[in-house]
Amino acid sequence: MNRKFSSILLLLIVSLQTFSQSTVSLKKIAPFNIKLTNGQQYSASQLAPGPVVLIYFSPDCDHCQNFTQDMIKNYAVINNKQVVMVTFQAMDMLLPFAKKYKLAQYPNIKVGTEGLSYNVQKYYGIRSFPYIAIYDKQGNLVKTYEGEQPHAEIFKTLKKY
């Protein structure tokens, strides 16, 4: 009985340790490496200190398009933040999206594809789009939103950081 209890306790400790390690890793931004719409490479190591908003999306996703449209309408909320929009879709799908929303005219918004590596998608365990991860000035994860969410709630969170 004592041996069985010890085995269960050991399993519980290992499980909790593994869970806490995975939670800790999400507190930092995904180590992304994307190809921007201008053809340049851009990675997490190039981010300047300060708040960051990472948006994982698909150009053909209606919720993603609606959010992007509202984000541009409410640009004052993100103008002091680095916004990184990442997709897995090919550049031929990404370019019309970026052009439609005139994203190139906003210097703080980077839009690119990680291709079929799915590194960012795996890092966050993303199941639906858009996925929004908000980081504070120190680079710590503040809040995430996944799938269709009230835009006003997201913008309210963004105003705080």
23 pLDDT higher than 90: no
The number of CA neighbours under 13 Å toward the Cβ of 121 is 16
78 SS3 class? coil
CA distances from 58 to 64, 79, 152 (A): 7, 22, 21
More confident residue, 41 or 17: 41
116 pLDDT higher than 80: yes
- pLDDT more than 90, % of the chain: 83
Confidence of residue 27 (pLDDT cuts 50, 70, 90): confident
CATH architecture assigned to 28-160: 3-Layer(aba) Sandwich (3.40)
Confidence of residue 26 (pLDDT cuts 50, 70, 90): low
Mean pLDDT of the chain: 88
Tell me the average pLDDT across 141-152. 96
10 pLDDT higher than 60: no
pTM, two decimal places: 0.84
More confident residue, 17 or 52: 52
Domain boundaries, given as residue ranges, for the chain:
28-160
Cis peptide before 130 (omega within 30 of 0): yes
